[in-house]
Amino acid sequence: MSSPPTSTGAIPDGRQDSAQARAEVPAALGETRLSPNAPAALPRAGNARQRWLRVRHDTVYDYDAPVELAHHLAWLRPRETAQQRIHGWSLEISPRPDATARLPADAVPLPAADAAAPSELDWADGLLGVHQSQDVWGNWRAGFSHARVHDRLEVRSSFVAELSAPPALQPAISPPWEGVAEQLRYHPGRPHDAAVEFALPSYFAPRDAALARFAREIFRPGTPLLVGALRLMQRVHRDFAYRPAATSVTTRATDALAQRHGVCQDFAHVMIGALRSIGLAARYVSGYLLTHPPPGQPRLVGADASHAWMAVWCPLHGWVALDPTNDVPAGQDHVTLAWGRDYADVAPLRGVIRGGGRAQPRVGVTVEPVG
């Protein structure tokens, strides 16, 4: 957050997991609403194998001083996967963004629909000042700007996710991890798999000797890759204390490994860094987790969590998502938002502002079953 009113500073949306204090957020925003894929009527949750979850993610900044100029990027539109379909996603922003904002230089514009209907990009550009594009990993991002003075920013993303159960894992038949690591190494003249990008180090999940030693305590020679990954998940869950506020969004995997405590972001970064440090490919996943209130207690609006987990690449199984915070493979309680090399690629809301003083985001997340 910027300090003097005339300086420029970056504002990330802080981690929202169980470690983050919840906040009361407004029931309605109303200024700008972007609903590119809202159906005429929400399908009924009639398939017992499907789980339907309604998600609302509110972020509010109350600035200490007026903001004169602001540019924001939001990774708040959930992506669709083989196990996840999204219905009725909408983005509401107050105050209304300027209609003159421009796409990032590396933006991939949305394809136009047909001659009779404008593309999503044209609609957002002409009416709402919200510009959608996809980043290099295929995640949706929305860019918007404010050139008018304001002292408060409210952003709400809401949607319904239709979730299928992931395929059953067969860890014992996954290939030995050393062969996969060798496959991911650079070989001149040999085509490489796209997963190679996630075997490379990143700022929050680097390759490191201490992380490699941590992984090699589990990944003995000949260990099937997924057997080792599941054991590593169990080890992180067992050895690391879940301690809210003990770390921050700037904590790296090496720091979390040394401290042996943190929150979901740290647990994911440690697993990713450990796997990369022995040559395997792993990526960071942001999203939401359905939590369950105590028996007899109502579900509280805004009291759920955005969450983070990771996924490891296996040539036989593809990307396998694992949640070290809860020691479970990601399933129908997990709603995927975006994925990247680490947290820096998929922070839900970030921006650069002039003015504003100091302000921490107040975040409220609600995840509830539908039907």
135-163 pLDDT, tens digit each: 999 999 999 999 999 999 999 999 999 99
pLDDT band at 231 (very low <50, low <70, confident <90, very high): very high
197-221 pLDDT, tens digit each: 999 999 999 999 999 999 999 999 9
Does residue 254 surpass a pLDDT of 80? yes
Burial 120-156 (b: 16+ CB within 10 A, else e): bbebbbeebbbbbbebeeebbbbbbbbeeebbebbbb
**What local confidence, expressed as pLDDT, does residue 360 receive?**
83
pLDDT band at 303 (very low <50, low <70, confident <90, very high): low
Compute CA 5 distance to the chain's CA centroid, rounded to the nearest angstrom: 31
**What local confidence, expressed as pLDDT, does residue 34 receive?**
57
Does residue 326 surpass a pLDDT of 50? yes
**What local confidence, expressed as pLDDT, does residue 127 receive?**
41
**What local confidence, expressed as pLDDT, does residue 63 receive?**
94
Q: What percent of the chain has pLDDT over 70?
A: 78
Torsion angle (degrees, nearest 10) of CA 14, 20, 26, 29: 30
- Listed residue (227, 208, 325, 224) closest to 278, CA to CA: 208
**Distances 204 to 83, 200, 274, 283, 311 between C-alpha atoms, Å:** 28, 12, 12, 11, 15
pLDDT band at 21 (very low <50, low <70, confident <90, very high): very low
Span 328-352, average pLDDT: 96
Does residue 111 surpass a pLDDT of 60? no
Answer whether 330's CB lies under 8 Å from 166's CB.
yes
d(CA 341, CA 195): 11
Does residue 14 surpass a pLDDT of 80? no
